[in-house]
Chains A and B, each alone.
Chain A
Amino acid sequence: AQKITQTQPGMFVQEKEAVTLDCTYDTSDPSYGLFWYKQPSSGEMIFLIYQGSYDQQNATEGRYSLNFQKARKSANLVISASQLGDSAMYFCAMRDRSNDYKLSFGAGTTVTVRA
């Protein structure tokens, strides 16, 4: 069964604007970690931000923040002040005990930043 769902296959955003990438997850384990990765066209996978299931506050890393809504099982990534270099594929991923702590990825969302 699909554990991570990213419903937006592609998005366009204007430079300097904010964009929100949706991610919903499915787990019955109370302990889990949520991760976002960026994959530019060059192919590498870059870790962006982490949110733990017990974290009281939403994670932030520079221009990246995570809108964590535990009851709704969503962990949306917000990129503020978009830059041309933010154009990439973004993956949401999760680790939990029910999947033997393996990192499970969503299908990804492509973001294109327009000048």
Chain B
Amino acid sequence: DSGVTQTPKHLITATGQRVTLRCSPRSGDLSVYWYQQSLDQGLQFLIQYYNGEERAKGNILERFSAQQFPDLHSELNLSSLELGDSALYFCASSVEGGRDYTATQYFGPGTRLTVL
């Protein structure tokens, strides 16, 4: 158990809908990272938050947004869902702010999103 929690574990929804994925980092970790894992694209970095502020952006669509709350949990919001958004979404956390190449990111169990 990495100490990172994600809910829900599975999510099935229809095209055009909006969903929210939730993540709680390990105790003491200030950074939260979101990743998308799909069969055709592999593991892609989406976005990072550090202590409530957006720190880095990756291949995140405009239909997707995220935030980190004062208690450090984070939510990833996916809207106007398309079939291609079906994927495994991971949250990871680390203690550092995203500039430490030695720092390990610990991953949550993931949320498997299926868009029908």
Do A103 and B110 have beta carbons less than 8 Å apart? no
A78 within 8 A of B: no
Q: Which of A33, A46, A52 contacts B2 (CB 8 A)?
A: A46
Please classify how large the interface on chain B is, using the bins under 10, 10 to 19, 20 to 34, 35 or more: 20 to 34
B98 within 8 A of A: yes
Least CB distance, B95 to chain A, in whole angstroms: 13
Stretch from A15-23, A66-74, A80-88, A93-101 forming part of the interface with B: A93-101
Do A105 and B43 have beta carbons less than 8 Å apart? yes
Q: Which of B42, B45, B104 contacts A102 (CB 8 A)?
A: B45
Known contacts A45-B90, A46-B2, A91-B43: A101-B100 contact under CB 8 Å: yes
With a CB–CB cut-off of 8 A, which chain B residues contact A37?
107
With a CB–CB cut-off of 8 A, which chain A residues contact B7?
none
By beta carbon, the residue of chain A nearest B6 is A44
Known contacts A43-B112, A44-B109, A91-B43: A102-B101 contact under CB 8 Å: no
With a CB–CB cut-off of 8 A, which chain A residues contact B33?
103
Known contacts A43-B109, A100-B56, A103-B33: A50-B104 contact under CB 8 Å: yes
Do A33 and B101 have beta carbons less than 8 Å apart? yes
Known contacts A103-B45, A105-B42, A107-B42: A47-B106 contact under CB 8 Å: yes
Quick one: which of A1-46 are within 8 Å of B by CB? 31-33, 35, 37, 43-46
By beta carbon, the residue of chain B nearest A106 is B42
Please classify how large the interface on chain A is, using the bins under 10, 10 to 19, 20 to 34, 35 or more: 20 to 34
CA distance A97 to B6 in the complex (A): 29
Do A101 and B2 have beta carbons less than 8 Å apart? no
Which residues from chain A sit less than 8 Å from chain B, CB to CB? Answer: 31-33, 35, 37, 43-47, 50, 52, 91, 95-97, 100-105, 107-108
Taking A31-B101, A44-B110 as given, write out 4 further A-B residue pairs in contact, using a Cβ cutoff of 8 Å, ordered by the A residue number: A33-B101, A33-B102, A43-B112, A105-B43
Which residues from chain B sit less than 8 Å from chain A, CB to CB? Answer: 2, 33, 42-43, 45, 48, 56, 58, 88, 90, 92, 98-110, 112
